Chain A
């Protein structure tokens, strides 16, 4: 019975933590910039 209680508490705690984080971090920042695919020749040789 004690084990069941502990398991229920762990599951509820995990669910609560997940839900809390989901709500708190639901909005992501704007993109930091534009990722631009780089053609290999854009990099200069270093040797």
Chain B
């Protein structure tokens, strides 16, 4: 295919490759895509070919096949990607693979969407925008729950505000709703890295896991104690809303004791490196059920909430939107939807954030139709 040409896929002719399809979220992504009548061929990959083949055989159709793929070998990814229309990456933790994967997909000339939620790689991925645009591909690095649904909710809330001044993003997760080791590794890394935020128009870094605040999430999650943390939205959302004064990201676990143990471990340097985080996961395994059972612990669901503040008709206004479901669904449904949109070939080219690549309302409608609950907070009267 010529560089810069637009690849459009007719209905029922999508060819999709899922990287990391044997993991907890990857299997859910594969399931979501396998149910689509538009997917003609679905290639599931994993480091272990046997596991990939077993996963593919679960779908009981020859439309779904398996290939071995180790992301440490980008040339293999390039050759597999050239045979499909879109590559979906669910392999994590993304701070290990995302930059090489994006480079490989630009080389292959194939659209790419991932569940990348590591802010440490966001700038490096975005620096490849011109290369992606010139290659005629669309790269959406991070289109799950956050970033992904959070970006879409912000865009929809911002459409109701004349001047967007402040945005708060909060995520409540649950150990009982975990989506595999990669998700846990990412969370541990997030707690040990600087918590970057936009404050008074400038980027500032604090310590992750500090500044506790209760945030009220959609039912059945309710109040959860959250802490400041860095996330990719901090690097991308200010470009979309240039007048934005502040943007903060907060996260918490519905099991408070488990969150406290992770914060204490991060503060004492036990989570500072990849090796330490893997060791920590291994050593803490026997204690996890005890700590997670300690009260207070909330519902085993995952939720996200965005608050967009600004002015409308000269008066201050706050729009609060949220989503709630199990984490695997909140990650898999948006990324699968994004794969459909990319295969349709109607998006701009380059490295884009979800609200640039897709119409937020159409995107959210499609997500809601897959059963994800979207809610709006009607404030209690003062």
Contact = CB atoms under 8 A, between A and B. Distances in A.
Same complex for A and B? Answer: yes
A37 B159 contact: no
B218 A35 contact: yes
Interface stretch (B56-64, B115-123, B359-367): B359-367
Contact of B155 (A30, A36, A46): A46
A6 to B, nearest CB: 13
What is the predominant secondary structure among interface residues of chain B facing chain A?
A: mixed
A43 B361 contact: yes
Interface residues of A, number: 26
Interface in B111-170: 155-156, 159
Interface residues of B, number: 36
A35 B296 contact: no
Contact of A35 (B214, B219, B360, B364): B219
A17 interface: yes
Interface string B371-382: 001111111100
B70 interface: no
Contact of A40 (B216, B365, B375): B365
Contact of B364 (A17, A28, A32, A43): A43
A31 B321 CA distance: 15
B260 interface: yes
Contacts of B219: 35
B257 interface: yes
A42 to B, nearest CB: 8
A44 B159 contact: yes
A28 B376 CA distance: 21
A37 B375 contact: yes
A46 B354 CA distance: 14
Contacts of B256: 21
B379 A33 contact: yes
B187 interface: no
Contacts of A32: 216, 377, 379-380
Given A40-B369, A44-B361, 18 more contacts: A14-B261, A18-B260, A21-B260, A28-B222, A28-B223, A29-B216, A30-B380, A32-B216, A33-B378, A34-B380, A35-B322, A40-B361, A40-B364, A40-B365, A42-B376, A45-B359, A45-B361, A45-B362
12 contacts: A22-B295, A28-B222, A33-B216, A33-B380, A35-B376, A36-B375, A36-B376, A38-B375, A39-B368, A40-B374, A43-B365, A47-B362
Interface of B: 155-156, 159, 214, 216, 218-219, 222-223, 225, 256-257, 260-261, 294-296, 320-322, 359-362, 364-365, 368-369, 373-380
